[in-house]
Amino acid sequence: MATISAEGVYRTEKTGAGAVVILPAAGPAGGLRLTLAAYAGEPLPAEIHDPGLEWLGIPGRWRLTCREGSYEFTTLGVEMHRALPGFFDDMLAGHALRAHDRTIMRCLLRLLGLPGGAGLLQAWHARRGR
């Protein structure tokens, strides 16, 4: 049986397309995110603790267990996303701008809407690439 479990406090939100999204209550920074497409079942509480999702062996039938209770439902699909903050940090470290370059970039981006602003940004970028 397929099972997914997470620890902590999560919030549930219903989307306009009939899906239910289960997100970490602390914010989108980390943790597990579940999307239950075309959710059909008993309404879930707005906040759940330590959710566990289990496939019941029948296509589309799942059970969500948490401290608040057990909820059986049908869904067209379950998507699981786990945030990995810092995953690309090592790879992108060599491309980071120095403090001086960041200041210039901020100024040039503010000038971008003015006539000639795009040319200034393009010229700075070309000079920097030499």
- The DSSP code for 92 is H
For the ranges 62-66, 84-88, 106-110, the one whose mean pLDDT is highest = 62-66
pLDDT of residue 2: 59
Same domain for 72 and 123, yes or no, is no
Q: What is the count of structural domains for the chain?
A: 2
pLDDT > 70 fraction of the chain, expressed in percent and rounded: 92
pLDDT of residue 30: 64
Residues with Cβ < 8 Å from 124, sequence gap 6 or more?
A: 104, 105, 108
Q: Please answer whether residues 51 and 3 qualify as being in contact, where contact means their C-beta atoms are separated by less than 8 angstroms.
A: no
**Same domain, yes or no: 107 and 61:** no
Which pLDDT score is estimated for 31? 75
- 23 and 69, same domain (yes or no): yes
Q: How many CB atoms lie within 10 A of CB 51?
A: 23
The answer, yes or no, to whether residue 102 has pLDDT greater than 90, is: no
Residue-level pLDDT at 118: 87
Mark whether 29 and 64 lie in a shared domain. Answer: yes
Whether residue 59 sits in one domain with residue 23? yes
Spatial distance between the Cα atoms of 10 and 34, rounded to a whole number of angstroms: 10
- 29 and 76 both lie in a single domain: yes
Confidence label for 130 from pLDDT (cuts 50, 70 and 90): low
Q: Are residues 79 and 115 in the same domain?
A: no
Q: Is residue 88 part of a domain?
A: no
Same domain (yes/no): 119, 78 = no
Write down the pTM of the prediction: 0.62
34 and 76 both lie in a single domain: yes
Boundaries of domain holding 77: 3-83
19 within a domain of the structure (yes/no) = yes
112 φ, ψ (degrees, to nearest 5): -55, -35
Q: Is the pLDDT of residue 27 over 70?
A: no
Residue 42: pLDDT above 80?
yes
Point out the least confidently predicted range of 7-21, 85-99, 116-130.
85-99
Tokens of 60: 């589309």
